[in-house]
Amino acid sequence: MTPALRAAPRPRLQPATPAHAAVLAALHAVCFRDQPWHRPWRPDEMADVLALPGVRGWLALAPDPPPADGDTEATDMDTPVGLLLVQAVGFDADILTLGVLPGGWRRHGLARALVQEGEKTLDVAGVERVHLEVAERNIAAQTFYARLGYSQVGRRPRYYHDENGVSQDAITMCRSLSQSHPAANEPRP
Ligand SMILES: CC(C)(COP(=O)(O)OP(=O)(O)OC[C@H]1O[C@@H](n2cnc3c(N)ncnc32)[C@H](O)[C@@H]1OP(=O)(O)O)[C@@H](O)C(=O)NCCC(=O)NCCS
């Protein structure tokens, strides 16, 4: 086997629909279980979000079981291990949620693949800027987004609250998409 094939599991990305609401809710709950300021979304809430105008979602599917270090040959690729939901409104879009399962699936490029797939779709749709909020204590996610070209643009004081009422700020981040997209060069309405 070549080193390239051992480097990381190759995710298969699948557009998510309201029919995936239960899977998405289960993924969301596990991805954010160590972040009590993120309340889990029930399947019906997830379905409602997916039905909102401009919302798109993706699932990352990868080999089961998780690859051990140095043993990442792709096999059956049918286990949902990550999710991304975005919402586009005009030239702007928001990342509503992003998560990859803990327990061996992280640091294999799955979130990067999800975000890049989302950005590609948004770019084609004419979106120019992608925004997000991330908890100030969530250094891992801030590092991840910075690595993908997102910059801090602001702060929302006491935006998140856990079940004990402890609050923390949200860091707002933004990235401009391709300036070469035709919509970026057209006169604004
Ligand atoms: C943040 C999260 C989505 C990253 O998922 P992932 O699949 O592990 O990320 P990737 O493997 O695509 O990481 C790409 C790059 O981001 C950076 N990165 C990712 N996780 C990081 C971490 N924990 N610490 C530091 N840098 C990190 C690295 O530069 C990484 O590249 P490298 O592994 O080659 O060094 C994942 O940790 C997660 O689900 N966290 C809980 C939910 C969450 O916080 N979501 C985001 C807030 S909405």
pLDDT score at 103: 86
Beta bridge partners of 167: 161
pLDDT tens per residue across span 50-107: 999 999 999 999 876 665 655 545 455 578 999 999 999 999 999 999 999 998 899 9
Residues β-bridged to residue 61: 12, 80
Q: HEC profile for 67-127? A: CECCECCCCCEEEEEEEEEEEEECCEEEEEEEEECCCCCCCCCHHHHHHHHHHHHHHHCCC
* Confidence (pLDDT) at 8: 53
* Ligand 1 nearest-atom number relative to CA 82: 39
| Whether the Cβ atoms of residue 16 and residue 59 lie closer than 8 Å to each other | yes
Query: Mutate which of 38, 61, 81, 107 to test ligand 1's pocket (most atoms within 8 Å of Cβ)?
Result: 107
For residue 117, give the 3-state DSSP assignment.
helix
Q: Indicate the pTM of the whole model.
A: 0.88
Output the pLDDT for position 11.
Answer: 78
Segments making up each domain of the chain, as ranges: 3-185
Which ligand 1 atom sits nearest the alpha carbon of residue 141? 1
pLDDT digit string (tens) for 143-162? 999 999 999 999 999 999 98
CA gap 182, 14 in Å, rounded:
27
Burial of 157 per CB tally in 10 Å (0-12, 13-18, 19+): exposed
What kind of architecture, by CATH, is found in domain 3-185?
3-Layer(aba) Sandwich (3.40)
Please give the mean pLDDT across all residues of the chain.
Answer: 86
